[in-house]
Homo-oligomer: A and B are copies of this chain.
Amino acid sequence: MGCVDTWLSEQRAHIEAAAVRIAGRARRTPVLVSELEGGVVIKPELLQRTGSFKVRGAFNALLQMCAHRPEVRGVLAVSSGNHAQAVALAAAELGLEATVVMSADSQPLKVAATRALGARIISDGITMANREERARQLAEDLGLPMVHAFDDWDVVHGQGTATLELLGDHPGISLVVVPVGGGGLISGTALAAASSSPRVRVIGVEPEVAADAAQSLHAGRVVALDAPPATIADGVRSLHIGDIAADVIIGRGLVEDITTVSEGAIEHAIAVAAQQLHLVVEPSGALPLAALLDGKLPRRAGDGPPALLLTGGNVDPQLLSRVIAAG
């Protein structure tokens, strides 16, 4: 076993340990074989607690913190919404206080849900551009450890558990498709996939107007957006991928490709999910389906149906209503 394989085995062990750690706290979501295109496989993380996959990483990170830093009484997180809810839930269950920095233009539904889970929310003067810096300052001022939404190995290993479940339930899968924002999910997915079999490829999907990860992969270095992107996919608005994702995607080449879809394709995918899959998907969570419907997924001879990770369902009701009416 070479050095690279040793590293991958180590990552695998961390993801498997995460799966054991979060069992009974995060939900084991079902795997659905849909009627789309002859049996596209769906891992509906919108059925996860709080309506998104983020609880996997949040529970893994906070449980690790409880085990190794028992003096910690609270944590701080930055999030556009789903990581916020996930940290709020995990903190509440583990008896920790959660402080969450959310940009002032966050989706109101996600802000309300986070508050309802008992978190303290800081959003005055917070923007997508300044939130990371403000949070780091706050963490220092308040003496709180920060649970990063994607650039944290415990979070990445937690997110990877979804793909462990997927490949465990459907061993024949050869293509796993996930949304890309800061790159935490795609990193965990790629580590879980590559350590399962070299046959399992991973594709990321981004909005066209937030294509920094695709550009980064193709350029071979991290490319950042100049400004917060104007996409309805509020879960993937980070300006650039994190260091861990850069290592996994660019450095180690564990992601086959990252493709992009238009805003219209995202809306269409939300409508198709509602009408044909009977699932409510939020814009970020609809990215893999948008890529499928748009013919953006590479297919190889002998490939079985692709597996789509539909990552969340916390969509603004007015947006959902409009998109469904438009078909």
Shortest distance between the CB of A191 and any CB in chain B (Å): 26
- Hey, which chain B residues are within 8 Å of A274, CB to CB? 280, 317, 320
| A278 pairs with B321, CB closer than 8 A | no
Shortest distance between the CB of A73 and any CB in chain B (Å): 26
Q: Known: A27-B33, A30-B30, A33-B27. Contact between A51 and B325, CB under 8 A?
A: no
A324 within 8 Å of B by Cβ? yes
Partner of A322, one of B32, B35, B281, B321: B321
- Hey, which chain B residues are within 8 Å of A35, CB to CB? 49
A126 within 8 Å of B by Cβ? no
- Hey, which chain B residues are within 8 Å of A271, CB to CB? 317
Shortest distance between the CB of A282 and any CB in chain B (Å): 9
Q: Which residues in window 260-302 of A have CB below 8 A to B?
A: 271, 274-275, 277-281
Measured CA separation A322–B47 after assembly (Å): 23
Partner of A278, one of B30, B280, B317: B280
- Hey, which chain B residues are within 8 Å of A277, CB to CB? 47
Measured CA separation A47–B31 after assembly (Å): 11
Measured CA separation A51–B273 after assembly (Å): 12
A327 within 8 Å of B by Cβ? yes
- Hey, which chain B residues are within 8 Å of A183, CB to CB? none
A6 within 8 Å of B by Cβ? no
A182 within 8 Å of B by Cβ? no
Partner of A324, one of B46, B275, B313, B320: B320
Residue of B nearest to A30 (CB): B30
- Hey, which chain B residues are within 8 Å of A324, CB to CB? 317, 320-321, 324
- Hey, which chain B residues are within 8 Å of A280, CB to CB? 274-275, 278-280
| B27 pairs with A313, CB closer than 8 A | no
What number of copies of this chain does the assembly contain?
2
Measured CA separation A290–B279 after assembly (Å): 19
- Hey, which chain B residues are within 8 Å of A27, CB to CB? 33
Residue of B nearest to A50 (CB): B35
Measured CA separation A188–B123 after assembly (Å): 53
Residue of B nearest to A318 (CB): B325
Q: Which residues in window 14-46 of A have CB below 8 A to B?
A: 27, 30, 32-33, 35, 44, 46
**A67-103 vs B, Cβ < 8 Å mask (1 yes, 0 no):** 0000000000000000000000000000000000000
| B318 pairs with A47, CB closer than 8 A | no
| B47 pairs with A32, CB closer than 8 A | yes
Measured CA separation A30–B327 after assembly (Å): 27
Measured CA separation A321–B317 after assembly (Å): 9
- Hey, which chain B residues are within 8 Å of A275, CB to CB? 280, 317
- Hey, which chain B residues are within 8 Å of A51, CB to CB? 278
Known: A271-B317, A274-B320. 14 other contacts (CB 8 A): A27-B33, A30-B30, A30-B32, A35-B49, A44-B278, A46-B278, A51-B278, A274-B280, A274-B317, A275-B280, A278-B279, A318-B325, A321-B325, A324-B324
14 CB-based A-B contacts, threshold 8 Å: A30-B30, A32-B47, A35-B49, A46-B278, A275-B280, A275-B317, A278-B280, A279-B279, A279-B280, A280-B280, A317-B325, A317-B327, A320-B324, A321-B324
